[in-house]
Structure 1
Amino acid sequence: MRATLRRHVPLVTALLTIVSLFVVVAAVRQFVPEALLPALPEPVLSAIPHANALISALAIGTITYGWRSIRDGRLTDHRRAMGASVVLFLSFLGLYLLRVAIEGPTPFDGPQALELWVYYPVLGIHILLAIVCLPLVYYVLLLALTHAPSELGETLHPRVGRVAASLWLVSFALGIVVYLLLYVLQV
């Protein structure tokens, strides 16, 4: 299985990306049948954005630590940190998709000028980076799972990983800015 996956990393990356984007669009557009969604009490739904802001901050920390670890030659620390980053990302995404599938996207309630000139540009860049980095993260993860550590330097893992980590960091940071604009800085 691993050998087959190794030969088809680009194809599997594309398939995972397409399925992931389909699931995100289905949740955001509220196409998920209600019967598939759990009945969550309002306090739980209301806590999700705050939990996701914390998860995003933790992910920024783990990605940064993983990047520094590999630069310092600490492969085990790098693998653990990036593995933790993937788990944090999946936790964030699962919570976000659950909430948005149940309640829909959160509207911006601040001043129209702030919405137009700050909120939408930040949200747009955040979403664009999240979409762009998704296949990159899948690709480097699949390379890491299908190659021995000694082989990864001969693949695109280091080069694509630097780009993926950079975009991932900015996307998580902008996600925190979106959270602040929606839930903390309301005028």
Structure 2
Amino acid sequence: METLILEKSAKYNRLINVVAVLIPVVVAVLLGIRQKVDLGEWTRVLPHVNGVINTLTSVLLMVGWYFIKQGNIAAHRRTMTAAFVLGSLFLVSYVLYHLSNESTSFGGEGFIRPVYYFLLISHIVLSVVVVWFVLRAVYFAFSNQIAEHRKAVKWAFPIWLYVSVTGVIVYLLISPYYQ
């Protein structure tokens, strides 16, 4: 497998910083649009697709961690690249759904309600934070800055895994309320 190797450059760090800010801002703006765009009925299945994507991403993160602990760098790289691609697809799918459909309210009551909102809020906050760490980890890996990659991954991996897993849990909790 031929691998992409990026050069070491300050312009990539600037680009990562800009993208890490732009993604959450653009998502927030798109989610804030009250007039929904009619993209068709097919968009109603996107929350279920997102649940699958988050599940697969969680699995790939754990498999990637396993491969690097085994010293299998090539398998680690492929697995983590696949997790990154799935994360990107999730973002597109998430935006398309919320651009074209009203948000679903959580209907749970009792003890599960604060649990749901704690998971949802922590998931959202950390999903904003993790973008910067993941972009840096990917850049450092592909530019062969392994020491910097390890530093970024110390934060990126646990946060990304938490965001992926809580995404699945939040989906499972709210899925009965989708229409």
Could you state the TM-score of these two structures normalised by the residue count of structure 1? Answer: 0.83
Q: Deviations over 1:67-88 (max 9, x none)?
A: 1111211111011001100111
Q: Which residue of 1 aligns with 2:43?
A: 45
Counterpart-to-counterpart distance in 1, 2:77 and 2:9: 18
What is the RMSD computed on CA atoms of the aligned residues?
A: 2.2
1:172 to 157, 164, 179: 164
1:122 to 119, 127, 131: 119
* Map 1:88-103 → 2, pairs under 5 A: 88-103=86-101
* Map 1:16-95 → 2, pairs under 5 A: 16-30=19-33, 39-41=39-41, 44-95=42-93
Q: How many residues align?
A: 173
Q: Would the aligned equivalents of 1:130 and 1:168 in 2 still touch at CA under 8 Å?
A: yes
Q: Which residue of 2 aligns with 1:10?
A: 13
Q: Deviations over 1:28-71 (max 9, x none)?
A: 1127x86xx56222xx2221111111111110111111111112
Q: Which residue of 1 aligns with 2:129?
A: 132
Counterpart-to-counterpart distance in 1, 2:136 and 2:44: 34
Unaligned stretches of 5+ residues in structure 2? 1-5
Q: Would the aligned equivalents of 2:104 and 2:177 in 1 still touch at CA under 8 Å?
A: no
Q: Which residue of 1 aligns with 2:155?
A: 163
SS in 2 for 1:8: helix
Q: Would the aligned equivalents of 1:65 and 1:81 in 2 still touch at CA under 8 Å?
A: yes
AA of the residue aligned to 1:135: W
SS in 2 for 1:156: helix
CA shift for structure 1 position 7: 2.5
CA shift for structure 1 position 104: 3.4
Q: Which residue of 1 aligns with 2:106?
A: 108
Q: Would the aligned equivalents of 1:9 and 1:143 in 2 still touch at CA under 8 Å?
A: no
Counterpart-to-counterpart distance in 2, 1:131 and 1:164: 12
Counterpart-to-counterpart distance in 2, 1:159 and 1:104: 39
CA shift for structure 1 position 112: 6.3
AA of the residue aligned to 2:101: E
